[in-house]
Structure 1
């Protein structure tokens, strides 16, 4: 009698990714292109490794919920406001493409077997897992910071000059935003730790050392948000439109410049900050674990 247990994980991945993508499309968290892209991305994550799959799901569900908080206030502030925070395929790839590549490399090296962060056992797997943690800590941190920071009653300040700026200005930061980024990174690390109890078997000293993931992911969330803000303040244009009475991302005859150059758009800023955080977290894991 043939053993089909090896097919169980891909089947679960297919069913879950189908359900999540369809639900996200119906609730307007993703447009059609984003839902189709998300179907493949989420499916790959879960099929490769349940714990990696959990990280993308925590990021997606928490960020989607926070995007819908305070929509009336955000509609008045945000230039490119979309009902339900609807994301397209490009935004999905910017927030998950790098991690998907790392997940596929992990699968090529180790199949679907999950492992602890332990350089004595495997430096490459430890670095790859660390990169995925850093990736989603950054994405989650940036999203939580943006979605909650804009709702803060405190006046945002431009990260490069610390001068007060209007809400919605790229590179404008608040204390609430930084605290949200730290919490978001911590949630990613906590998810990795809790799932690891069920998916890995490690020696006691190695298992104890895994607790360092929590402060590491918290720092990655803050660092990712910080880099995103620095790039937004310098390489992404912000200006105030006197006609629409909003901060906008493109220059024009009725737009007074606030900060930044027209080099990167929001997706590019996210991608660069994710890549930097992923690389640095991966390197940090090679020393810590």
Structure 2
């Protein structure tokens, strides 16, 4: 119990440092910084050093992309996307809550299935963040994942070659790092291999589901002044008209549902793969 209290305290202190830095550099709003403090406390308290390192890697890589885009003045989609680059608390929790919930379940059950859920959830969040943040730099307009027609850059539901490659490498970063961490721990070779394959596949899956939900269910609006398709309820300081999607389905909900499905898929894959291995003759 004493060790657990110290781990929570360490996570709280570290979360405050990360949250303060992110707030000062405009990576996070106040609510976003508070959400990071909560996440850091929970992950450090219930997790181990590899799980904590993955979360830091996710935030560090996302921050590097932000600063790179800032130097490039990549703001061409600012009038389309629902929220700006500075993430608030809902955005942080939507991407991470399912994964962290799986980590807490692993702590209490010691079932490896839930550890895979955490890693896969972080892989999915990284893939989605890299895909959307880097994909927006593409010189070509993205294509709708549904109709394969060109849509405005930054609009949810669009895919591009650059964004897809970024999603792949984002998921690869988390899965490869996980494989490196558990390669040196007393874990079976079979399980170590799964730590690379399952998060990689689930991360890519999560990014695709995010685009699919963004294209079909996320609310989109049309500006009454310029006629532009946007995710914002106001454009040119005027109310926009909703043209499709569900009125309550914001990008935060899209991220949350895609993250949930990513974690659930990892649970299913591990359940099927480990039970198949236990069958006689396999």
| Superposition TM-score, scaled by structure 2 size | 0.84
Q: Provide the residue aligned with 2:63 in structure 1.
A: 64
1:86 paired to 2:72? no
Gaps of at least 5 residues in structure 1 are 111-124
Task: Provide the secondary structure at the position in 2 that maps to 1:68.
Answer: helix
State the alpha-carbon separation in 1 of the partners of residues 243 and 67 from structure 2.
27
Matches within 5 A, 1:80-119: 80=81, 85-110=85-110
1:191 paired to 2:177? yes
Instruction: Give 1:150's match in structure 2, choosing from 123, 133, 136.
Output: 136
1:19 paired to 2:1? no
Identify if the C-alpha distance between structure 1 residues 151 and 243 changes in structure 2 by more than 3 Å, giving closer, same or farther: farther
- 2:103, 2:117 within 8 Å by CA — same for their partners in 1? no
- 1:131, 1:278 within 8 Å by CA — same for their partners in 2? yes
State the alpha-carbon separation in 2 of the partners of residues 193 and 73 from structure 1.
36
State the alpha-carbon separation in 2 of the partners of residues 238 and 82 from structure 1.
13
Q: Provide the residue aligned with 2:34 in structure 1.
A: 36
Deviation at 1:35, TM superposition (A): 0.9
1:216 paired to 2:202? no
Identify if the C-alpha distance between structure 1 residues 240 and 66 changes in structure 2 by more than 3 Å, giving closer, same or farther: farther
Deviation at 1:135, TM superposition (A): 0.8
Q: Provide the residue aligned with 1:75 in structure 2.
A: 75
Q: Provide the residue aligned with 1:119 in structure 2.
A: none
State the alpha-carbon separation in 1 of the partners of residues 3 and 244 from structure 2.
56
1:134 paired to 2:90? no
Q: Provide the residue aligned with 1:288 in structure 2.
A: 273
State the alpha-carbon separation in 1 of the partners of residues 200 and 46 from structure 2.
25
Deviation at 1:142, TM superposition (A): 0.7
Identify if the C-alpha distance between structure 1 residues 5 and 162 changes in structure 2 by more than 3 Å, giving closer, same or farther: closer
Deviation at 1:100, TM superposition (A): 2.1
Q: 1:163-217 CA deviation, whole Å, 9 max, x = no partner?
A: 111212210111111111111111111221222245x313xxx225412332322
- 1:159, 1:230 within 8 Å by CA — same for their partners in 2? yes
Gaps of at least 5 residues in structure 2 are 275-282
Q: Provide the residue aligned with 1:248 in structure 2.
A: 230
- 1:77, 1:247 within 8 Å by CA — same for their partners in 2? no
- 1:182, 1:219 within 8 Å by CA — same for their partners in 2? no
- 1:141, 1:185 within 8 Å by CA — same for their partners in 2? yes
- 1:242, 1:255 within 8 Å by CA — same for their partners in 2? yes
Deviation at 1:39, TM superposition (A): 0.6
Identify if the C-alpha distance between structure 1 residues 177 and 32 changes in structure 2 by more than 3 Å, giving closer, same or farther: same
Aligned length: 268
- 1:46, 1:54 within 8 Å by CA — same for their partners in 2? no
Identify if the C-alpha distance between structure 1 residues 261 and 73 changes in structure 2 by more than 3 Å, giving closer, same or farther: farther
Deviation at 1:22, TM superposition (A): 1.6
RMSD: 2.8
